[in-house]
Homo-oligomer: A and B are copies of this chain.
Amino acid sequence: MADRAAKTELYEAFAATGKALSSGKRLELLDLLAQGERTVDALAKAAGLNLTTASAHLQTLKQTGLVATRRDGVRIHYRLAGEDVAQLLDLLRRVAERHQAAVAPARTAYLGPEAPDEQDAVRREDLLARIAAGHAVALDVRPVEEYAAGHIPGALSIPVEELAERIGELPEDAEVVVYCRGAYCALAYDAVRLLTARGRRAIRLDDGMLEWRLAELPVDAGAGAAAA
């Protein structure tokens, strides 16, 4: 029977972390940061926020300890404070999708319908084996900086905006398994639609880099081999 005031205060402290997760914009920022560190300016542009607003949201995140900063000359890089924060983001979205009716329609409105005759997405566990057997090649369609910060071993890197013109770099005979940031990232959906329209055998990875990393599957870093 310790006193109620102290209990309230403790739970209010937990709630501060919940509050950090209570704005859609902050979740977008966390999602971006889960791919690697970024400057305030880059984050603001990617999330469609004006600079001061983005800075304010990042301050909130920093005060609850979910993100950390690093100064490099004149610019400040933000990053997630730890892998547990990525886990929390992942679990939050999973729970929301499972229990909240509004998520499913919003999801298809954003990601678009799957191509009608598309097979089910490739599961994480199967991908490395399919690559090793030569049946498939992994394609990372995120921006190059994110690829450099960590990618699936052996994956090619072609950002989705360049995909139309660089489609020739993909092998013609293998199936292309496309992935991007995570389960709710639109890039891979767009890429698969583009490739399929061009007559390639393309399929999405079930989710993306975030879930791959959290599953503790192997990750390569560095600009690496890029596209063939």
Chain A contact residues, CB within 8 Å of chain B: 1-4, 6-28, 31, 48, 64-66, 81-82, 84-85, 87-88, 91-96, 98-103, 106-107, 109-112, 160, 184, 186, 189-190
Contact = CB atoms under 8 A, between A and B. Distances in A.
Contact of A100 (B9, B11, B16, B96): B16
Copies in the complex: 2
B184 A10 contact: yes
Contacts of A19: 18, 22
B24 A100 contact: no
A142 to B, nearest CB: 13
Q: Of residues A1, A11, A93, which shows the largest number of chain B Cβ atoms within 10 Å of its Cβ?
A: A11
Given A18-B18, A18-B23, A27-B15, A82 B98 contact: yes
Nearest to A31: B11
A194 to B, nearest CB: 11
23 contacts: A1-B160, A4-B48, A6-B106, A7-B28, A9-B106, A9-B109, A11-B25, A11-B28, A13-B102, A13-B103, A14-B103, A15-B21, A17-B92, A17-B100, A18-B22, A19-B22, A22-B22, A65-B99, A65-B100, A81-B99, A82-B99, A84-B98, A88-B95
